[in-house]
Amino acid sequence: MAGFSFLEKKMAIILEEEVFHHLDEILKKYNEMGHLLGDPKVISNRGEFQRVAKEQAELVPIVEKYDYYKKILKRINEAEEIISDSSSDSDIRELAEEEKNSLEKELEDLEKEIKLLLLPKDPRDKKNIIMEIRAGAGGDEACLFAAELFRMYARYAEKNRWKVDILNSNFTGLGGLKEIIFSLEGKGIYSKLKFESGVHRVQRVPATEASGRIHTSTVTVAVLPEAEEVDISIDPKEIRIDTFCASGPGGQGVNTTYSAVRIIHIPTGMIVSCQDERSQIKNKDKAMRVLRTRLLEKKEEEERAKRAQERRGQVGSGDRSEKIRTYNFPQNRVTDHRIGLTLHRLESVLEGDMDELFDTLVTADNAERLKGL
């Protein structure tokens, strides 16, 4: 650390040296972009100007926090000089001591904020998602709870003004769901819901249970960032498209027209069906959205297989032992087993009041990532 000023040395002790250097690099990059935005060549190139301006704007929060951090550190240094000066009035030294303690607490909070800003952004956080909910162990009761989970996410989406589009569904005669696949479109959806993948367990007395015995059932949820055509290309020669009559609850067109679509991706054997729309063209479009998303997820899963098999590890087989969350009706509680959070307000959670749950999951994830920063 030769050549560093006293202030810089002190900063490097408080903020780890690597973080300190990284912040300086960001500040340098920010200033370089400021110069570029004043360059006539860049100004005359609309696309380049917008790109640089956007990139610089993304650095503003870090630069502002870093600048304030240095100012606080300077004030602490000034307070320490007063405290160590024996010629200073005792009251002044006492005030300086109080200010120093207050500033050090503020500095500690700032350090956490800076580190959070430095965490790598997940490029998928801004993507729309496709969610897949399937009944696991538990028969009809699992299907009924799958329908309740879908309603819960739909209510949460409604509160956030997100668009819900059902891509495929398989209802039971009792109003439950064997499976439902739907998309969610809106701002920051994946960043909020990416932790929902896994096995959700429900404990309650089914309406059909005469003895009042509590049953345990499971539902699996998969959250996939939606793939766009630019993310993955599908060769038309590698797919087979079949049409068939839609099945399910009544309505005109059911079992009378070949509107339902089944797409088979020959190289992987992946099959996607869609029958919710009356139009064959719309069903084909929705099925292709699901296929693209699943193929992208498969590709990404293979790339990260050595580090973590994300979707396979999260969704599992639907067995009761592979749970991430429990919804216990007799005790009116929801427990997330990954973070040890228990909320005794099951009804409001099922009505879509899930912000506390999601915020705690994000905070816990950030804390884990900070350990490796």
In the chain, where are the structural domains located?
6-118, 129-367
Q: What is the pLDDT of residue 210?
A: 63
Q: What is the pLDDT of residue 252?
A: 43
Residues 6+ apart with CB under 8 A from 181: 130, 131, 132, 133, 166, 167, 168, 169, 290
Q: Counting Cβ atoms within 10 Å, is residue 162 exposed (0-12), middle (13-18) or buried (19+)? A: buried
The type of residue at 113 is: E
DSSP, res 262:
E
Q: Which of 199, 182, 181 is nearest to 137 (CA)?
A: 199
198 SS3 class: strand
Contact, 348 vs 342, CB < 8 A? Answer: no
More confident residue, 74 or 227: 74
Q: How many CB atoms lie within 10 A of CB 218?
A: 26
Q: What is the pLDDT of residue 302?
A: 75
More confident residue, 352 or 235: 352
Q: What is the pLDDT of residue 166?
A: 92
Q: How many CB atoms lie within 10 A of CB 322?
A: 17
Taking only the tens place, the pLDDT of each residue in 279-320 is 888 888 888 888 888 888 888 777 666 545 444 444 444 444
Q: How many CB atoms lie within 10 A of CB 102?
A: 14
Q: What are phi and psi of 210, to 5 degrees?
A: -75, -30
DSSP, res 232:
-
pLDDT averaged over every residue in the chain? 84
Least confident stretch, 42-56, 142-156, 220-234: 220-234
Contact, 184 vs 160, CB < 8 A? Answer: no
Give this prediction's pTM.
Answer: 0.68
More confident residue, 251 or 233: 233
Residues 115 and 368: their CA atoms lie apart, in Å, by 12
Residues 159 and 3: their CA atoms lie apart, in Å, by 55
CA angle 47, 48, 51 (to 5 degrees): 90
Contact, 46 vs 80, CB < 8 A? Answer: no
Residues 352 and 248: their CA atoms lie apart, in Å, by 27
The type of residue at 307 is: R
Residues 326 and 217: their CA atoms lie apart, in Å, by 10
Percent of the chain with pLDDT over 70: 86
DSSP, res 194:
G
In CATH, 129-367 is 3.40.50.720: no
Q: Which of 258, 261, 264, 260 is nearest to 291 (CA)?
A: 264
Bridge-partner residues for 169, per DSSP?
180
DSSP H stretches of helix in 233-328: 280-303, 310-315
250 SS3 class: coil
Measured over the CA atoms of residue 150, residue 155, residue 159 and residue 161, the dihedral's sign is positive
Taking only the tens place, the pLDDT of each residue in 132-146 is 999 998 889 999 999
DSSP, res 220:
E
Residues 37 and 119: their CA atoms lie apart, in Å, by 26
